[in-house]
Each structure stands twice: as C-alpha cells, then as structure tokens.
Chains A and B, each alone.
Chain A
C-alpha cells in the first residue's frame, strides 16, 4: 500500500472529514463557510483540511486574504490505489489458501 493511499484511507476514517469532503463536493469553499455548516470551530476545520490536503484529497488556492478549498482533481487516485492494493491482498490471500489446499 502506497503512503499516499494510506493517508487517504486514514483521512477518510474520520466522520467529520467525510462531511467536509461531502460539503466540498457541492463546490469550492473557504474555511469559514465550511465551519458554519459543522458543529466544530474554524481551527478544527483547518486542521481537518490540512489532513485532507496532505492525503491529496483536497487542494487550496489563495483567494484574497483567505484560502479557497476544493476537492482535488486527482483526488481519486489515492483511493484507486487503496482499492488496487486491497484487491491484491484479497487475491493473494486466495492464492495462498488454494496452495495450502492442493
């Protein structure tokens, strides 16, 4: 499993971060807009956004004095990589079992 897909996997393990992703699926937004829709403060939202950005799921661009956050165009790639490694593990486990049973 690649490091990036590990990060994406961990990033999505948090329900609040999944809600932020869901929010951004509606369109790019600054931290303040996201925070008004969630039961957590702006510093907490910022921390979550950093985790999502480090995982390659979210990008940010400066817009005036603040950042505008958006879903990363290539954000599916780490998830795709996770699925590839997951199915490889599953098939590898199957092959091992077949060998034991032969």
Chain B
C-alpha cells in the first residue's frame, strides 16, 4: 500500500483574473452558473442539459428529466470563498473537493480554484459505467490509477 500513497495526484490549482469586484464575481459564479458553465464540453449528460445551484447543490438536469448532482456546497463565505464536493457522475461517497476563492486585485478579482481529495476516489468504475466521456470517465481513470498498486 505504500506505493498507492505515492500515486495520489497533487491538487489541481488554477486561477484567472475577472473584470468585477469579488462580490460581483462571487454572485455571478454561483447564482448564474447556468449562464456561463460550458455545458457543451463539460457535463454528465453531454447534450441540451442545464445546470443550477439550488438548495446548496450543483444540479444538472437533462431535457428528458434526468438529474445529476455534481456536488454539495460545503463552504459559503461570500464574497471571499466557496467550496463544494465534486462528484459528477458519481455518488457523494466518492466526492473530491473543489474550493474557489475570490480576492480583490485592483479593480479586478483573482479567482483561484483548487481541486483535491483524490484519495477518496476508490473503485468508482461500476457507478460510472453508464457515462462514457467527460468528467466521469477521467475521474474513473484517476480512481483506477490511484487504487493500483
């Protein structure tokens, strides 16, 4: 098992500057997620779905009524921080962690995102079997490579 520990990837950290105050950026990031999230490229259902943040959950709905909960909000600290579990295509027991911070930088806001928690992704293949692309497939691959000895 000592080998498996070395397989756990480091957190993914990305950041970007946006043209708004932290408060405005936080509001648009959360309440308007359905307007800006690139669903055509990153979604579970892959076509004509919608995504929204409601009741502390990020939920994608397909046109034919299917629902996928991508994650649950675990930290809500406007305008500076937001965190949620991340398990698109999986059950919450295999959730990874995403945290986003909003920091003023002059007239702009630095939006910094950290995606971590890979160690909890063990054996999700069966649960992800119906999804053949996108986040679920990639996270499946991660999970298998992490669990491999």
Contact = CB atoms under 8 A, between A and B. Distances in A.
Given A57-B141, A91-B14, A99-B19, A15 B129 contact: yes
Contact of A90 (B20, B42, B125, B138): B42
Nearest to A81: B12
Please tell me the size bucket of the interface on B: 35 or more
Interface stretch (A22-30, A38-46, A60-68): A22-30
Nearest to A73: B7
A86 B113 contact: no
Contacts of B111: 91, 94-95
A5 B81 CA distance: 30
Main SS class of interface, A? helix
Interface centre among A57, A71, A87 (most CB of B within 10 A): A87
B17 interface: yes
A22 B17 CA distance: 39
B59 to A, nearest CB: 17
A25 B28 CA distance: 41
B128 to A, nearest CB: 8
Interface of B: 7, 9, 12, 14-20, 24-25, 28-29, 32, 35-38, 41-42, 111, 113, 115, 125, 128-129, 132-133, 135, 137-138, 140-142, 144-149
Which 4 A-B pairs rank lowest in CB-CB distance, beginning with the nearest? Answer: A97-B36, A25-B148, A98-B18, A91-B16
Given A21-B145, A90-B37, 6 more contacts: A18-B128, A18-B141, A76-B146, A82-B138, A88-B14, A98-B28
